[in-house]
Structure 1
Amino acid sequence: MFARTLPALTCPVCRERLEVDGGGRRLACPAGHSFDAARQGYFNFLTGKGTVFEADAADMVAARFDFLSAGHYRPLADAVAGLAAPFLAAPGAAVLDAGTGTGHYLRALLDRVPAAAAGLDISKFALRRAARLNPEAVSIVADVWQRLPLEDDAVDVVTVVFAPRNAAEFARVLRPGGRLVVVTPRPGHLAEVAGHTGMLGIEPAKEERLAAALSGHFRAAGEHELDLTLQLAPADVANLALMGPAGHHLDRAVLAARTAALPARTEVAARFRISVFAPLEPPGPAAAE
């Protein structure tokens, strides 16, 4: 089960501080609310009417797990870990992986630098995988568009790899001097197979919209581009299509037929942008007047 050194978690019902109870199988707050770990090791913090956000289905998660386990995106995971690690070197450092999915990117980071860690995702199918892959982290089913189950200034790094970004909440939970690390695709990403498989294209002006969405809470603190040349088997291409947003609407039979017609290996270019942001300092007394 996860380590007892965790980020400062809060109860999704009353926002009181959560503490580890029940031999690491339960999180409980002073108000009496408690959350037991599922058999696979994750905690479900969804409350009330839930979320309108569509969680990844089981076959989408399985596709992502198989693709990432094959190591195709390992250089990306290592690059994210390298950028985040310097901000997790101090004792008591903590990281939130928002949209953690199967937990592969958080695994690479924790292999680089041990830290208190939380992985958050809306998909229970993804968290089943993540909890097994990262047993020292706490894995939480929660909606990133709601208040995050963390105290203010609870973590030193927030990582977001191809996942939604709640700028206000990320800024709230980040400590002064912390960093937000965001991965987005660049134009031309997976172009060789995107049209053939029905994957969604890269939205125009994506970089500008990212900066605009974060501008009220963060300033740019670095940008890095990473290009990978992948040699993919038909099964890899199918997994690549299913593991992304297009997996919510792709016809599985059509995808299988299309990928079966591919050659034994297809060369595909993966193009990533890794953006680093620092939280804006709150205005001083004079500026606030």
Structure 2
Amino acid sequence: MHLQCPRCRHPLHLHQASKGRYCDNKHHFDPAPEGYLDLIPGKKNPKDSDSRALMRAKRHFLEQGHMQPLVDAMAGLLTPLGERELIHLDCGEGYYCRALAERLPGWGFAGVDLAKNAVFAASKAQPEASFVIADPARAPIMPGTAQLLLVNDLRVKTEQLHEWLAPGGYLLHLQPGPRHQWQLRVSLNPVSMEHPLSWPALAGFDQLAQQRCQFSLTLDQKLRGFVLETSRLGWRADAEQRHRFIQQGPEQLEQDLLLSLWQKPR
């Protein structure tokens, strides 16, 4: 991952001895013992990190393979592109980088996230990858250098994604489909209506492929509680709705995700 200095936007160079980064204006950034770089100068906002309990729950959920159908779909779209470096914006604790590394041998992986504890966990679990603490919407990526960006429903301007990518570089875009977590939606709002299927339109990119990935999760009370904690829908639930969903909620939860692959013109 080619990085730029968060203070002056000049290119960051690798310091061979320390494995840190520095720019021509003598701004230095040393790596943490786990290998990640912190490119947000100053104190962190505690709101940018997940609680330890939520981190453990996410890790347990993902490592059990509940999202394997999505990993398989992404790998199927990416394999024909040949070996390259994938940068996951908003990478969390790095599960998708690790899961895709198993399916895409020879590839390089990197991730950007605001949460220090998530980046810590990602780097510790995958030391051969490159992880950076930074705002994914303003990632310190040198313009015109990224080979492939993975963006999961992140509010990043299309122009910014276009700027980061090298000519001929790829963008894998992931967003929820109209049936995503449908049983949770109707549990919280029984009059919910299904929205029409709508694929993104990204100006300045050539669309190469699109794929709708649909599968279901089998839920117990523990997983229903996890879904409430991690879903944007669940964040809006009141105490009564949360209790009812956990105790008497559905046994199946639909996952509906839209994958689209784009290329920046050469």
TM-score of the two chains, using structure 2 as the length reference: 0.83
**Are residue 55 (structure 1) and residue 48 (structure 2) matched?**
yes
- Report deviation, 1:29: 2.3
- Report deviation, 1:40: 4.7
- The answer (yes or no) to whether the contact 1:238–1:255 under 8 Å persists in 2 is no
- The answer (yes or no) to whether the contact 2:185–2:233 under 8 Å persists in 1 is no
- Report deviation, 1:254: 5.6
Partner of 1:115: 107
> Which of 266, 269, 273 is the matching residue for 2:251?
266
Extract unaligned runs of 5+ from structure 1: 1-6, 282-289
- The answer (yes or no) to whether the contact 2:93–2:122 under 8 Å persists in 1 is yes
- The runs of at least 4 consecutive aligned structure 1 residues that moved more than 6 Å come to 48-51
- The answer (yes or no) to whether the contact 1:88–1:157 under 8 Å persists in 2 is no
**Are residue 220 (structure 1) and residue 207 (structure 2) matched?**
yes
- The answer (yes or no) to whether the contact 2:90–2:152 under 8 Å persists in 1 is yes
- Report deviation, 1:186: 0.9
Q: What is the one-letter code of the residue matched to 1:124?
A: K
- In the alignment of these two chains, the number of paired residues is 261
Partner of 1:128: 120
Q: Describe how 1:71-220 pairs up with structure 2 within 5 A.
A: 71-89=65-83, 93-111=84-102, 112-146=104-138, 148-196=139-187, 204=195, 207=198, 210-211=200-201, 214-215=202-203, 217-220=204-207
Q: What is the one-letter code of the residue matched to 2:111?
A: G
- 1: distance between equivalents of 2:215 and 2:11? 42
Q: What is the one-letter code of the residue matched to 1:235?
A: K
**Are residue 44 (structure 1) and residue 38 (structure 2) matched?**
yes
- 1: distance between equivalents of 2:178 and 2:152? 17
Q: Percent identity between the aligned chains?
A: 25
- Report deviation, 1:129: 2.1
- 2: distance between equivalents of 1:39 and 1:245? 33
| C-alpha spacing 1:17/1:64, structure 2 compared with 1 (3 Å) | same
Extract unaligned runs of 5+ from structure 2: none
- 1: distance between equivalents of 2:175 and 2:120? 25
Q: What is the one-letter code of the residue matched to 2:256?
A: R
Equivalent position SS for 2:48: coil
Partner of 1:3: none
- 1: distance between equivalents of 2:114 and 2:193? 23
Q: What is the one-letter code of the residue matched to 2:128?
A: E
> Which of 233, 239, 243 is the matching residue for 2:226?
239
- Report deviation, 1:246: 4.5
Equivalent position SS for 1:277: strand
TM-score of the two chains, using structure 1 as the length reference: 0.77
- The answer (yes or no) to whether the contact 2:152–2:175 under 8 Å persists in 1 is yes
- 2: distance between equivalents of 1:169 and 1:61? 29
- Report deviation, 1:255: 7.1
